[in-house]
Amino acid sequence: MQSPHPRPPALPPSLTVNPRLTPPVHVPLLVLLLMLGCGVVAYHLSERAGLRALADNGERQLELHAHTLASAISIHAYLPSLLELETGVGRLLLEPSERRRAQVNAYLEGLNQRSGSRAVYLLDRSGRVVATSNWRDADSFQGDDLSFRPYFQDAIQGKPGRFYGLDSITGEPGYYLSHGLRRAGEIIGVAVVKIRLDPLEERWQRAQLEAYVSDGNGIVILSSDPARRFKSVQPLDAERRTQLASSLQYHWTRFEELQPLRRQRLSADTELLSLPSAASAQPVSYLAQTRRLADPPWDFTLLSPVRDVRSAATSHGLLAAVAVALLAFLLIAWNERRKTLATRLAAREALEEANNQLERRIAERTEHLRASNERLKAQIRERRQAEESLRKTQDDLIQAGKLAVIGQMSTSIAHELNQPLAALRTLSGNTVRFLARGDSATASSNLQTINELVDHMGRITASLRAFARRSDDRGEAALDKAVDAALFLLRPRLERTPLTIHRTCADARLAIDQTRLEQILVNLIVNAIDALSAQSDRQLWLDGRVEDGHYRLAVRDNGPGIPPALRSQLFEPFFTTKPGEQGLGLGLTLSASLAAAAGGSLTAQHPDDGGTLFELKLPLLPPSPAESRRDA
């Protein structure tokens, strides 16, 4: 049968799902990529900003030092032309003499000392030194032929001579400024000032400035790092090399190229260079800013190491990566917490919903149970009423049955009572006559007989009254107790007629009134005693057991048995074979009626090995709750 209440559905999935609280595998990879990306971007941004700042600073340095270099040259630029004003100089060039040379030498020596130049000297038109400030020195230029020097050739043609080179004899570097001295429009000689620029290099070194100056040939002529000096910043072909060697501008120097390991141009005058370092095996990267000087046309290059910029950029990149990692961690943590809270909230809501559902179902079920209970109570009431009316009907039926039995017996009863009544009438009439005659002995005998007849009639009516009594038709009886009571009741008879009783009946609760059961047992046992009274071997078996839902009690004796001719009359009222007043012939009739009234039966059997067996079948009572528990 299908249950009226289907099982509640399973809880919502949100309650059963265990949310994944750990981030998926690809998240760390994503974070790593993000860290790398942000780190690289931060590095580049920082490097770019650092380079810009470096370039700005370099621009200022470049401005300053280029200006310093230009000033160092320009303060001497007027000196050669100044000699034109000196009349002694003109006279020496036009009409040389030793006295004039000595005068001019002294003058040039003084001038050189005051101007701080390296040397000031005078060339005649042929390019030979006629007077010089270093006339006292062993390496004096006096008498040297310097006509091959470009600064002479320029000046003799009326152009200002500018030349950087190494001294052809001493190899000392210097910057030469020359001027063609004119007299009456004619160039009569050339005045030359040689200045040293190496103090600038020392100043750069002191200021820890890395810079170099390359001339128009691309040869580094000034450098804070001596190793870079006289190196070529641009490739030199063989023809150019030969030309430079023959001019002796740089003496006999073999030019090596200042070849950067890496070069990246950032703008027209700014580039990133990687130059080999003498101090370490690693090349050093520089921001190289170049500025072209106006006069002379040299390139001033400032090298700013980018190491600090790069290490700062690396720090910034790392910082950005760490910040991204931190941010990612916070985001993941926040997201996990959000998910956990959401899951908890969903679970709580689902739980509440399930709880509400459960409560609703419990309320519905309770309501249903209450209704069922009410229905059951009503049914029980109806059943009880039905049972009551059934019982009443049954009682009525039984009573009707009993009355019917009595009705059936009425002829026999009337006959049975009429006989003693007729005898009584006769006896009483005779007694009156015997008393009138004075025969008191016969009258007394008659009265004695009358008394016995009345007793006999009284016993008949008592039995019938007991049978017809309405109550006690239903009830319950304990078999053992009933057997005990019957044997106790019959003790006087049993003492007079002792017999061996084989009692093998199991106790049971039977659906019959206890007294009625005792009454039946007494009738059956009395009949057995009566049947056995004439013999010496007297045996009685009381054998009882439960069979087919009924209790079957066999009451058997080893008496003479009942002759077959009489067997059909056994249960007829007033059938008796017992002599005189011993038998009423109602015992078996009433016992069978009582058994039938209780829903059972009483039958007689006639075993082949003798004796008589009466089988009493009675319905069992359902076991009491206490018995049920014991049995369990």
Task: Give the residues lining the site for ligand ADP (CB under 6 A).
Answer: 523, 527-528, 531, 557, 559, 562, 570, 575-578, 583-585, 587-589, 612
Nearer to ligand ADP, 426 or 603 (CB): 603
Single out the residue of 118, 133, 120, 122 nearest to residue 72, CA to CA: 118
Phi, psi (5° rounding) for residue 221?
-105, -25
> Which CB, 562 or 620, lies closer to ligand ADP?
562
Cα–Cα distance between 528 and 531 in angstroms, integer? 5
Other beta carbons within 10 Å of 166: 18
| Residue entry with tokens 């007043």 | 581
Whole-number minimum distance, CB 404 to ligand ADP, in Å?
19
Rounded Cα distance, 494 and 169, in Å: 179
Residue whose CB is less far from ligand ADP, 13 or 563: 563
Residue 291: phi, psi to the nearest 5?
Answer: -135, 135
HEC profile of 429-457: HHHHHHHHHCCHHHHHHHHHHHHHHHHHH
Q: Rounded to 10 degrees, what is the CA torsion of 353, 355, 359, 360?
A: 20
CB of 583 to ligand ADP, least distance (A): 3
| First-residue to last-residue Cα distance in the chain | 27
Task: Please classify residue 609 by burial: count the beta carbons closer than 10 Å to its beta carbon, then call 0-12 exposed, 13-18 middle and 19+ buried.
Answer: exposed
Q: Smallest gap, in angstroms, from Cβ of residue 494 to ligand ADP?
A: 15
Cβ-based nearer residue to ligand ADP, 412 or 430: 412
> Minimum Å distance from CB 625 to ligand ADP?
39
Number of helices (H) and strands (E), helices first, in the chain?
Answer: 16, 20
Q: Which CB, 124 or 530, lies closer to ligand ADP?
A: 530
- Shortest CB 459 distance to ligand ADP, Å: 10
Shortest Å distance, C-beta 589 to ligand ADP: 6
Residue nearer to ligand ADP on the CB measure, 456 or 578: 578
| Cα dist from 349 to 12, 215, 273, 353, 474, whole Å | 10, 86, 68, 6, 64
Report in angstroms how near the CB of residue 456 gets to ligand ADP at its nearest.
11
Nearer to ligand ADP, 156 or 586 (CB): 586
Residue that has been written with the tokens 């750069």 in this structure: 204
Residue whose tokens read 């001719």: 565
Measured distance CA(534)–CA(414) in Å, rounded? 33
In whole angstroms, the minimum distance from the beta carbon of 562 to ligand ADP comes to 5
HSE-up (13 A, CA, CB side) for residue 183 = 18
Residue with structure tokens 């090399």? 241
* Structure-token pair, residue 256: 């090596």
User: What is the closest distance, in whole angstroms, from the C-beta atom of residue 591 to ligand ADP in the complex?
Assistant: 8
Q: Which CB atom, from 328 or from 531, has the smaller least distance to ligand ADP?
A: 531
Cβ proximity to ligand ADP: between 8 and 498 the closer is 498
